[in-house]
Amino acid sequence: MKEQHPPRAADLLSSQRFGPFFSTLFLGAINDNLFKNTLILIFVFQSSHQGGDVDKLTNLAAGLFMLPYLLFSGIAGELADRFEKSSLIRILKLSELGLMILAAQALLSQNTELMFILLFLMATQSAFFSPIKFSIIPQHLEPRQWLIGNSLVELGTFSAILLGTLLAGILFKLSEGTLVISALLVVIALAGWSFSRKIPLAPTVNPDLKLTFNPITINANILMQSWKRPKIRFLQLCIAWFWFLGAAYLTQVPHYAEAVLGGDSISVSWLLCCFTLGIGAGSLLCNRLSQDRLGRDMVAIGLLGLLVFGVDLYFATPANPLPNDAGLMQLLSSFKGLRVTADIILIGLFAGCYIVPLYTQILAASGADKRARVIAANNIISAVYMIASATIAALLLGWAEMSLPSFFLILALANLITLAMILHKRSIWLSASLVRILPKRWFR
């Protein structure tokens, strides 16, 4: 019998089963981050000149972007399990197009109140899309393709976060930047809706499901149902840990680049690029290196990499920052600067190796008739972890006046807790991972 070749990313991206879906989610994530970061730039550079409280406005924006995941994830999960998924995606993309037309008007008229409302509604649209995004993969792909499918979803998501953030920063500086951004938001939304029309049907998996429209009731119900199964609960906690770390690094790396390294705005963008592209590269690398269909042998490798290079980031940090507003070339001309850059890339890379197998396993462990609700419950838990991440960072860096390198060290060492959880569960992940990285003669 002829051996099957492992699935390739290029084959999936060019296929009708996955290509339009990937393009839809990629463009939607760009719009989310382009609009959100444009809003933050308006607060930082314009509200401050008008006497506004920048910190309160940016924190309010971050809170509004997270709130829908806490409120509506349960309802989103029920809808995704109850109805045909490609139709739901088209409805969401059509609503995004309408929201982006309103967003263009709000940006051009500088209507702050409308911007906040639209930010909340865009996040709501994303919260409804998230359970569909993961639960549609098993309906369109073969089980051996789930790992590469999830790898591409993570690659697309984080590449879009980076691209949306960079576009906002670059275009906002133009003399007609707001006009260009407004037009781009509408064009991207229109393109996303166009691609969504090509997504193949994904028939309902639970047509008899009775919908619950009370957010508190449904959220509590899907959390209890998920947590009745120890394996699902364990996977959800491990995934939430990724978002705890991701939120901490994405939030603090810009301040670290500016205040600790002494870099300029380009240096800040450089380190953010390194982190997000590292996650994307790690997501794809996971599929290439894993010898397990679900990627279980990569989870502990990812954790160990997060631990090792997170600790090294602490020791790589220079004792004294570079001269004020040091450029990127000056940062990269020093050994310490290169070492910090390498650590940031590798932290992102091993984070990608860690998260992709977890999403693949949670899809495999969930029943087809409740898969979207399991993902929705996971989104709620991850949102709570991200809020906890921001709270702990504020306490340690603000109230306790801890330095950023020390904060990153604590983040790295905290990976030992998740590693201990894996050991406690007597998972094969760690042993399988060690077999792959240690000499084979040790195991004869």
User: Domain containing 400 — which CATH number?
Assistant: 1.20.1250.20
Task: Clarify whether residues 88 and 150 are in a common domain.
Answer: yes
Whether the CB-CB separation of 373 and 145 falls below 8 Å is answered with: no
- 213 occurs within a structural domain: no
User: Could you tell me the residue range of the domain that residue 287 belongs to?
Assistant: 227-444
The domain boundary residue, chosen from 199, 216, 237 = 199
- Amino acid type, 76: A
Q: What is the pLDDT of residue 329?
A: 79
Euclidean distance between CA atoms 142 and 146, whole angstroms:
7
**pLDDT at position 256, please?**
87
pLDDT at 1 exceeding the cut of 80: no
Minimum mean pLDDT range among 253-257, 316-320, 340-344, 431-435: 431-435
| Distance separating alpha carbons of residues 34 and 95, to the nearest angstrom | 17
Residues 165-171 have a mean pLDDT of 87
Q: According to the model, what pLDDT value does residue 296 have? A: 75
* Mean pLDDT on 170-177: 87
Local confidence band at 290 (pLDDT 50, 70, 90 cut-offs): low
Give residue 50's pLDDT.
53
By the 8 A CB rule, do 131 and 209 touch?
Answer: no
Q: Quick one: pLDDT at residue 340?
A: 93
Residue 160 sits in the same domain as residue 257 = no
- Counting Cα atoms < 13 Å in the Cβ hemisphere of 135 gives 37
Q: Are residues 376 and 437 in the same domain?
A: yes
The per-residue pLDDT of the chain, averaged, comes to: 86
Entry pTM: 0.87
What angle (nearest 5°) sits at the alpha carbon of residue 130, between those of residues 207 and 369?
Answer: 25
Joined together, the tokens standing for residue 395 give 């306490």
**What's the pLDDT score for residue 3?**
45
> Do residues 231 and 179 share a domain?
no
**Rounded mean pLDDT of 308-323?**
87
Q: What percent of the chain has pLDDT over 70?
A: 88
Query: So what's the pLDDT on residue 269?
Result: 81
- Is the pLDDT at 444 greater than 50? The verdict is no
CA-closest candidate to residue 60, choices 36, 24, 84: 36
Name which of 159-163, 262-266, 331-335, 358-362 the model is least confident about.
262-266
Q: How many domains are contained in the chain?
A: 2
